[in-house]
Amino acid sequence: MMHWLNMGGYWMFVWPSYVLTFLAVVLNVYLARRSLQVAKTEARRRAQAQGSGS
């Protein structure tokens, strides 16, 4: 296990690459979901405003 984590001495470069990519993957999931959520909230607010206005 330690041998694998060491990556032949390249662990300093291999693991940061994977961690960074993983973080970007998670971040983009978060950003995309938040963007959809914001749009939904906005649409809901608008629909209610229209409903009460008419």
Partner 1 sequence: MNWTWFHRFGSPPYFYRVAGKMIPWFAWLAAITAVAGLVGGLGLAPADYQQGEGYRIIFVHVPAAVLSTMAYSVMAVAAGVGLIWRMNVAHAVAASCAAVGAWFTLVALATGSLWGRPMWGTYWAWDPRLTSELVLLFLYLGYMGLRGAIDDTARADRASAVLALVGVINLPIIHYSVDWWNSLHQGHTVLKFGKASMPPSMLVPLLLMMLAFSFYFAAILLVRARGEVLRRERNARWISEAIGA
Residue 2 Cβ vs partner 1, minimum distance, rounded to whole Å: 13
The answer to whether residue 49 forms part of the interface with partner 1 (CB under 8 A) is no
- Give, as ranges, the residues between 6 and 45 that touch partner 1 (CB under 8 A): 7-10, 13-14, 16-18, 20-21, 24-25, 27-29, 31-33, 35-40, 42-44
Residue 53 Cβ vs partner 1, minimum distance, rounded to whole Å: 12
7 conformational bin, left if phi > 0, alpha if psi -120 to 50, beta if neither: left
How far is Cα 39 from Cα 46, in angstroms, rounded to an integer?
10
C-beta of residue 7 within 8 angstroms of C-beta of residue 15 = yes
